[in-house]
Amino acid sequence: MEAKKLNLENSLKEFDHGKSLIPGGVLGIRRPYNFVEGEFPVYFDSGKGGRVTDIDGNEYIDYLCAYGPMIIGNREEEIDNAVINQIREKGFCFSLTQKYQNQLAEKMKELIPCAEMSLFVCTGSDATTTAIRLSRSYTGKKKVMRCGYHGWHDWCVEVKGGVPEKLYEDVHEFHYNNLESLENLLKEYGDDTAAVIVTPVGHPLAAEMEEPKPGFLEGCKELAHKYGAVLIFDEIRSGFRVSIGGAQKYYGVTPDMAVFGKAMANGYPIGAVTGKAEIMKEGEANVFISSTFFPNSLSFVAALKTIEILERDKVLDTIWEKGNYFIEKVQALIEKHDVGARITGIAPMMFITFDKDANKTYKAKRTEFYTQLIRKGVFLQPFHHGYICYRHTQEDLDYTINTIDEALAYIKDKYQ
Ligand SMILES: Cc1ncc(COP(=O)(O)O)c(C=O)c1O
């Protein structure tokens, strides 16, 4: 049975207003065309744990988790209190650095296999760009082989408007789980290659997720080193999620450098670059890394508290259990309804997609499927994988699984 359309009156009104004030109304990936236009809300008002409420009062179980940062959940008191105490009792924005970044760098060293030295920035894009600059300085070379989304800065942004070609002409893309594509590039440009940067888990936009095939990550490392390049894992999504030591620990391949962000501070803005001391030390004098806001302490305090909770409460083990339960149940439903749906990924981050067909009905099925979910309060989106957070309850998972069952039945009815 078709679910009833949501009342989104306030969201749509606010968005109309926003369009006259802010280019595109809202920025980037949060624009309505990245969901199902007219069916998804545009603005949230509040959130608690794994749930969020939009400005029309509709409540959702949020599986997008703010595109990754909400590893525990919204309004996590212990973390927010640590931040509030810092604001009230000490302050966080000074002419000199407070001591917390040493504690955080120490923690990174303890947990993450490649971490000998670290530095902290504000966003994931800051972190990937810093890692590339350090690698170029360390090797004295300029080419970069990339695989995955690495942010919005000039060297890697996917939409090229406003970026002179010379700023990305030395960056070449290879394909995930395809060592041959990397090797071919290195055969051509290897002598001048500074870095190979890859997301250890494959999570392309709007396409099935992939785990590394046996030997893929090891092969990236071997090839990078054969040509004297730095191997960087972009762990912005997988870090502090796939395991407390990142995907590098989980898959047992240690890169030369890695970048972290998102889940690291449960929503507070932070990016981290970490790796071998000899490469990181390029940041002492040769490479200038500075921003007015990089040394602000609130995100360090939030990250320290978040990591403390992740370790103390074995949060990531619980997320794996919940995610495995979810994937197993959804897989069974996909087989039961047989409408060309597919679930890929791993327990902490998974994606339901529809197999491409010649008539392109997969696009309509995808739209209908995600429309049915959002109408019933399940916030998952058609072009980006979802996440499981610690505060998703068993009840949330079972309600979602039931809703997916109904949505797949609806699609089967309509298309077969
Ligand atoms: C793998 C990866 N790298 C880099 C980035 C850029 O991070 P940010 O959006 O914080 O700049 C993202 C953001 O989604 C990401 O997923």
Domain harbouring 235, CATH code: 3.40.640.10
Full residue range of the structural domain in which residue 398 is found: 9-75+315-415
- Residue 1 located in a structural domain: no
Same domain, 320 and 401: yes
Same domain, 61 and 131: no
Same domain, 273 and 233: yes
What is the 241 CA–ligand 1 centroid distance (Å)? 14
- Residue 33 located in a structural domain: yes
- In ligand 1, which atom is closest to the CA atom of 125? 11
Sheet of 341-346: strand order equals 341-346, 349-354, 386-387
Same domain, 301 and 165: yes
Residues 6+ apart with CB under 8 A from 281: 117
What is the 165 CA–ligand 1 centroid distance (Å)? 22
Which of 251, 280, 312 terminates a domain? The answer is 312
- In ligand 1, which atom is closest to the CA atom of 123? 10
Please tell me whether residue 35 adopts helix, strand or coil conformation. coil
b or e along 257-276 (b: 16 or more beta carbons within 10 Å of the residue's beta carbon)? bbbbbbbbbbbbbbbbbbbb
Same domain, 230 and 138: yes
pLDDT score for 1? 83
- Residue 206 located in a structural domain: yes
Same domain, 142 and 15: no
Q: Domain tally for the chain?
A: 2
pLDDT score for 314? 98
If we measure between CA atoms, which residue out of 198, 349, 370, 194 comes closest to residue 287? 194
Same domain, 47 and 30: yes
- Residue 28 located in a structural domain: yes
Q: How many angstroms separate the CA atoms of 304 and 79, rounded? A: 9
Same domain, 66 and 201: no
What is the 60 CA–ligand 1 centroid distance (Å)? 24
* pLDDT per residue rounded down to tens, the chain (416 residues): 889 999 999 999 999 999 999 999 999 999 999 999 999 999 999 999 999 999 999 999 999 999 999 999 999 999 999 999 999 999 999 999 999 999 999 999 999 999 999 999 999 999 999 999 999 999 999 999 999 999 999 999 999 999 999 999 999 999 999 999 999 999 999 999 999 999 999 999 999 999 999 999 999 999 999 999 999 999 999 999 999 999 999 999 999 999 999 999 999 999 999 999 999 999 999 999 999 999 999 999 999 999 999 999 999 999 999 999 999 999 999 999 999 999 999 999 999 999 999 999 999 999 999 999 999 999 999 999 999 999 999 999 999 999 999 999 999 999 97
Counting ligand 1 atoms within 8 A of each CB, the residue from 147, 150, 241, 349 with the most, and so the one to mutate, is: 150
Which of 279, 312, 345 terminates a domain? The answer is 312
- Residue 2 located in a structural domain: no
If we measure between CA atoms, which residue out of 360, 362, 366 comes closest to residue 380? 366
Same domain, 131 and 265: yes
What is the 168 CA–ligand 1 centroid distance (Å)? 18
CATH number for 408: 3.90.1150.10
Strands 51-54 and 44-48: what pairing?
antiparallel
Same domain, 85 and 212: yes
pLDDT score for 233? 99
Same domain, 305 and 320: no
Same domain, 58 and 84: no
Q: How many angstroms separate the CA atoms of 399 and 415, rounded? A: 24
Q: Tokens 């940041």 appear where? A: 283
- In ligand 1, which atom is closest to the CA atom of 68? 14
Which of 251, 284, 312 terminates a domain? The answer is 312
- Residue 296 located in a structural domain: yes
List, chain by chain if needed, residues with CB within 6 Å of any ligand 1 atom.
Answer: 67, 123-125, 128, 148-151, 199, 234, 236-237, 261
- Residue 232 located in a structural domain: yes
- Residue 3 located in a structural domain: no
Single pTM value for the model: 0.98
